[in-house]
Structures are given as structure tokens and as C-alpha cells.
């Protein structure tokens, strides 16, 4: 499975899958997709890279331990839910703000930050599982 062709193509496929996972994440609050599906695509990209170059190459590429990424995502998702409490709204109610950036009004919502948190939880958790399975397979 680990041929020269696969090792040559894997970095391009990984980059393409990561870009597509971010696209799926960002379109998820308006159309099908979102944090969970985008996270699965992102974790699959890291798994493919791990199959081609080994677990240590993926760990170097990530900079952070995958479970730290998952923990950060869980914190972001939880905080997104609590933002509505001081406003007198129920937990997990979507809150929108409209800051102006370079003269353009940009709508931001807790829905997007929650999806980003879910994305990070899924990427971190499933990447950690894939790396553990790949390490066990190498032994």
C-alpha cells in the first residue's frame, strides 16, 4: 500500500482534504455539513498522511497533541453555549453580532464558534484514535 506513487500523492491529497474539510465546516450552518462532517474529513486527511509517512510525521505536522486540540474545541463549544446566559437567553441560543471590518458589516454568530469547536473536537479525537491504531499496526 505504501508505494512511491502513494507517498508522492499523499501530501497533495492531504492538503486538498483539509481545505475541503474547512469548506464543509464553514458552509454547515447554512447548508448540509458542519463541524462534525468537516472534522471527519480533516481527521481522514491526517490518517492518510500517517499511512504514507508514519505517525511521527503527523505528530510533527500537527504541532499540538491531538487530544489537546480536542480539549480546546470542547472549551470553545462550551463557551459558545454560555455566551447566551448573560443576555437572559437559554443555554445554546444563537447570538449574533455585526462588527464592522474594513467598512463592511460582518455577521458573526455563536453558531459558527460552536461548529468550530465541534470540528476541533472531532479532528483531535479521531486523529488521536487513528494515530494510536497506526502505531499499534507498526509494532
Which domain, by its residues, includes 118? 4-138
Residue % of the chain over a pLDDT of 70: 96
Instruction: Pick the closest to residue 118 from 51, 8, 43, 49 (CA basis).
Output: 43
Whether the per-residue pLDDT at 139 is higher than 70: the answer is no
Whether the per-residue pLDDT at 137 is higher than 80: the answer is no
- The answer to whether 99 and 106 are in contact (CB under 8 A) is yes
The mean pLDDT of 58-70, rounded to a whole number, is 95
Per-residue pLDDT tens digits for 21-59: 999 998 886 777 789 999 999 999 999 999 999 999 999
* Contacts of 110 by beta carbon, 8 Å cutoff, 6+ apart: 80, 81, 83, 84, 94, 95, 96
Q: Work out the widest C-alpha separation in the chain, in whole angstroms.
A: 59
SS3 of 94-111:
CCEECCEECCEECCEEHH
Instruction: Pick the closest to residue 13 from 35, 37, 125, 5 (CA basis).
Output: 5
Tally of structural domains, the chain: 1
The whole-number pLDDT of residue 107 equals: 85
The whole-number pLDDT of residue 1 equals: 62
> Which residue bears the cell 509517512?
53
What is the pTM for the complete model shown? 0.89
Backbone angles phi, psi at 2, to 5 degrees: -90, 70
Residue 76 has which C-alpha cell? 470553545
Residue 7 CB coordination number (10 Å): 12
Amino acid at each position: 500500500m505504501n508505494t512511491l506513487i502513494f507517498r508522492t500523492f499523499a501530501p497533495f491529497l492531504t492538503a486538498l482534504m483539509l481545505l475541503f474539510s474547512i469548506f464543509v465546516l464553514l458552509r454547515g450552518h447554512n447548508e448540509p455539513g458542519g463541524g462534525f462532517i468537516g472534522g471527519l474529513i480533516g481527521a481522514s486527511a491526517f490518517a492518510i498522511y500517517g499511512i504514507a509517512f508514519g505517525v511521527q510525521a503527523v505528530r510533527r505536522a500537527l504541532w499540538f497533541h491531538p487530544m489537546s486540540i480536542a480539549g480546546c474545541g470542547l472549551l470553545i463549544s462550551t463557551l459558545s453555549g454560555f455566551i447566551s446566559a448573560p443576555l437572559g437567553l437559554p443555554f445554546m441560543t444563537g447570538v449574533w453580532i455585526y462588527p464592522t471590518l474594513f467598512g463592511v458589516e460582518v455577521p458573526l454568530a455563536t453558531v459558527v464558534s460552536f461548529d468550530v469547536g465541534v470540528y476541533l473536537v472531532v479532528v483531535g479525537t479521531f486523529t488521536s484514535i487513528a494515530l494510536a491504531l497506526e502505531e499499534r499496526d507498526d509494532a
